Structure 1
Amino acid sequence: MKKTALIIILGAVIASGCTVRVADMTVGSTKNYNLNAAKFVKGPRVIGEDSYPVILVPLGIPNMKTAIDKAIEKDKCAVGLSDLVISQLNHSFLFGKIGMRAEGNLIIDASQPGCTGRG
C-alpha cells in the first residue's frame, strides 16, 4: 500500500508543471518602427514560444525576446503586439520542457511597402 502511494505521488510530481504569468503589457515590441506612421491596424491574436526540452537538465535557456519575435513574425507587416501577455512555462521535473510564451494581438503597420489596404 505504501509503495503504491509513493509511486502515485512520484508520478504526479514528475508529470506536473505550471505556467506562470510574468507580465501583462498594453504594447510590446522588439522591432524598431515609426510611431508617427498613424496607419496601425489591430491584427489577429497570435502566440510565439521559445522552449527547450528538459532531460534531467535543461537543454537551453528560454528567451523572452525570441518568443516575442516569433509572435510578431507571424505577419510580415506586423511591428508589435498589443494586449501582450508573457508567461513562463515550467512543465518539467526531470523530463518535459521549459520556456517563455508571448501572446498578443498583432499591431500591423499599413504604411509599410506591400502592406497597403490592410484593415
Structure 2
Amino acid sequence: MRKAITPNERLLATLRYLATGSTLEDLKFSCHIAPQTLGKIIRDTSEAIFKAQRNFCKCPTTEEDRENIAGELEHRWNFPNCIEAVDGKHVATVLPPGSRSYIYNYKNFHSQVLLGIADANY
C-alpha cells in the first residue's frame, strides 16, 4: 500500500498551484504527485481553506462592493482596476523529519511560502 499524502504536502501543492498558475502536468514534477490526484487534492484543500476562513475573510459579493474597493485602492494607493493585493515571502524553516527536499527552495534554504492578501485598508 502507498504512503498517504500528508496535509503539509496537500497544502504545499495547492498553494503552489494557486501561486504559479502552473498546469497539473507541470506541477506533478515539483510535487511528485500524479495530475489526477493533484486535481482532487487542490479542489478539496481549496474548499477546506475557504470553509475555515469564511468568517475571517470577506469577499466582495456584489459589483458595487468590488467597485468601492477598486476605487479605494486607486485613490489611496494609485492602483487602478485592482481589487486586492497579493504578496508572498519565503519563511525559513527547519527541515521536518521525512520531508526530504519538498521544502527546499531556489534560494538554497528550507522554507514555507507565506502568502498574504489585502485590500486598501490592509
TM-score by length of 2: 0.26
Kindly name which structure, 1 or 2, has the bigger radius of gyration based on alpha carbons.
Answer: 1
TM-score by length of 1: 0.26
**1 or 2 for the larger relative contact order (CA 8 Å, sep ≥6)?**
1
